[in-house]
A = this chain, B = another copy of it.
Amino acid sequence: MDSRLKFIFKRRSVRKFKAEPVEAQQINELLSAAMSAPSAVAKDPWRFILLRDRSNLQNIASCLPNGKFLAEAPLGIVVCGDIDQAHDNTVSYMLQDCSAAIENILLAASEIGLGACWLGVHPREDRIKNISKCCQLPANVIPIAVIALGYPQTIPDPRNRYNPAFVKQEKWS
């Protein structure tokens, strides 16, 4: 494991957080990291809704079968894509762009001492519908994922999941 890449290997999903809030400065850093991702034709179709109000966190948590712990997190970020702004208005580019931004948030969070977990929304129609309603999203803004964030109760060890079976040379076969 190359020590220069520790920022990648130490990112692990964190689901239990301290009660301590995340400071505004750190939230700005996370969002700056998100918006430093590349996007198709630099369309930057990503949009972010910050959740710190406890009742809103609870409402969004109730939309996520595997994200009940969001109700206890100090911070949530709903990552959405604006399909009207995405390259060629395609869902595929919108998803790719937003996913790169999400990964940047997760890596940045880990590097500045926070913990985070990526909670899937798209393509689950019920989750999209319920979160769109909770967040009062216009029809062109589609929730892709929610990120739960906070100071971790425990910091997991770095790990490497390299699998040589997933790598081919020049051609598949």
A75-92 Cβ-contact flags toward B at 8 Å (1 or 0): 000000000000000111
Interface residue tally on A, bucketed by range: 35 or more
Contacts A36-B8, A111-B4, A123-B90 hold; do A50 and B169 have CB atoms under 8 A apart?
yes
Contacts A96-B145, A122-B92 hold; do A8 and B104 have CB atoms under 8 A apart?
yes
A135 sits at the interface (CB 8 A): yes
* A56 CB contacts on chain B under 8 angstroms: 170-171
A19 sits at the interface (CB 8 A): no
Q: CA separation between A13 and B171, bound complex, in Å?
A: 25
A104-120 Cβ-contact flags toward B at 8 Å (1 or 0): 10111001100000101
A6-21 Cβ-contact flags toward B at 8 Å (1 or 0): 0111010100000000
A70 sits at the interface (CB 8 A): no
A32 sits at the interface (CB 8 A): yes
The 8 Å CB contact of A108, one of B5, B49, B122, B169, is B5
Chain B residue at minimum C-beta to C-beta distance from A82:
B166
5 A-B pairs in the complex with CB atoms less than 8 angstroms apart: A4-B112, A31-B167, A56-B171, A92-B123, A96-B144
Residue ranges of A at the interface with B (Cβ–Cβ < 8 Å): 1-2, 4-5, 7-9, 11, 13, 28-29, 31-33, 35-38, 40, 44, 46-53, 56, 90-93, 95-97, 99-100, 102-104, 106-108, 111-112, 118, 120, 122-123, 134-138, 141, 144-145, 159-163, 166-173
